[in-house]
Structure 1
Amino acid sequence: MPLSPDEYDKLSKEERETYDNSEREREAKEQAELPYSWKQELGDVSLVVPVPKGTRAKQLDVVIQKKRLSVGLKGKEPIMAGELCKEVKLDDSTWTLEDQEFVHIHLEKINQQTWWENVLTHHPKIDTTKIQPENSKLSDLDGETRGMVEKMMFDNQQKQMGKPTSDELKKLEALEKFKAQHPELDFSNAKIS
């Protein structure tokens, strides 16, 4: 059972490692049971849906809508169908059939600043706070841009966990330093926003 951010914070380093490993195993098992595999970047989601060997494109019924996705063979129950967890750009989302046995689907995210927890809303979720973007992508950026992106990623993770952002942490640090320099002042009734 997933822990709340507060419960997670109370764990020791070893307990966190054990918990993280068990959660990764649970997620991997749930994802392996889906009728497709998927991966994502900040800007898009890629799916691979196995279909019977020898399937031809004209036998497929693939429907990509702004907030829905359905994949199957014409006249049969869909392999997967339901509401997408987030909206996609229809003009930039595509599908292809590879080797007459895999449907590759490319979904372009409308909001390219968020990670998807799942593809279809009724499928198991993944913990997006544990996603590590490929380092090669970040290392391609110049130092200033990379620093800004890393700060945004840190702040986004902190917000998702209900923790202070880097700017809020700086303010708290400055306040603590000020308190230490001025022990004669009473801060017990101070309201900090």
Structure 2
Amino acid sequence: MSSIPDDYDSLSTEERELRDKQDRAREFTEQAALPYQWTQELGELDVVVPVPKGTRGKDLVVVIQKKKLSVGLKGQDKILEGELCKEIKVEDSTWTLEDNESVLIHLEKINQQQWWENVLTHHPKIDTRKIEPGNSKLSDLDGETRGMVEKMMFDNQQKQMGKPTSDELKKQEALKKFQDAHPEMDFSNAKFS
């Protein structure tokens, strides 16, 4: 990953798009040269390591530690080995041999709110600011979470239009009910916050 160059903000939109395209092409080339492929979600990471066809589980030496990972075949140099970019939950991380030709390593991140720049610290980095997580739909959420998100969206729209939020509307409604129930009380000098 190249950190944003100092001149990035001064570039035109077209120049930024060109630089971003060049950066993505460079990242793609660097990542394709690695001895594995990897994908990530905010909470987890999957690494696929190709091995010779016909490899059996007992031929493999896979070590998954909190901050280290290595994969190799017994009696041979490691296919990959090094320090992980961030810490993982070892007890929730696994590996499996798929079709006797690739090792699938599933790593659970400790910090489930952070994108990884790379798998192993000595490998090329990606620009995590350019990651576009898959769009989740409101219908994918459970009822309580969906309600909370819809309320936040409503309140945000109301604020942008200078209108009261749902909580402020509830307070106004409760106050009106109280005033209607107690017409004998004078609220003309009352201050409400």
Letter aligned with residue 115 of structure 1:
W
Distance 1:124 1:138 in 2: 35
2:45 corresponds to:
45
Distance 2:138 2:118 in 1: 24
Cα distance, 1:3–1:77 mapped onto 2, change above 3 Å: closer
State the aligned residue count.
Answer: 149
Q: What CA deviation, in whole Å up to 9, does each residue of 1:19-45 have, x standing for no partner?
A: 110000000000000000000000000
Cα distance, 1:147–1:70 mapped onto 2, change above 3 Å: farther
2:19 corresponds to:
19
Q: What CA deviation, in whole Å up to 9, does each residue of 1:123-147 have, x standing for no partner?
A: 0000000000000367634274389
- Structure 1 runs not aligned, ≥5 long: 149-193
Contact 1:95-1:104 within 8 A present in 2 as well = yes
1:168 corresponds to:
none
Contact 2:92-2:107 within 8 A present in 1 as well = yes
3-state DSSP of counterpart to 1:89:
strand
Pick one of 142, 149, 153 that aligns with 1:145: 149
Distance 1:146 1:86 in 2: 33
Distance 1:127 1:93 in 2: 25
3-state DSSP of counterpart to 1:115:
coil
- Structure 2 runs not aligned, ≥5 long: 153-193
Q: What CA deviation, in whole Å up to 9, does each residue of 1:69-127 have, x standing for no partner?
A: 00010111000000001000011000000110000000000000100000000000000
Cα distance, 1:132–1:94 mapped onto 2, change above 3 Å: same
Is 2:8 aligned against 1:4? no
Distance 2:137 2:63 in 1: 31
What does 1:1-193 correspond to in 2, within 5 Å? Answer: 2=2, 4=4, 6-136=6-136, 140-141=140-141, 142=146, 144-145=148-149
Distance 2:105 2:140 in 1: 27
3-state DSSP of counterpart to 1:14:
helix
Distance 1:93 1:14 in 2: 43
Cα distance, 1:147–1:67 mapped onto 2, change above 3 Å: farther
Distance 1:46 1:91 in 2: 15
Letter aligned with residue 145 of structure 1:
V
The percentage of aligned residue pairs carrying the same residue is: 70
Give the aligned CA root-mean-square deviation in angstroms: 2.2
Distance 1:147 1:79 in 2: 50
Contact 1:139-1:146 within 8 A present in 2 as well = no
3-state DSSP of counterpart to 1:72:
strand
Contact 1:37-1:48 within 8 A present in 2 as well = yes
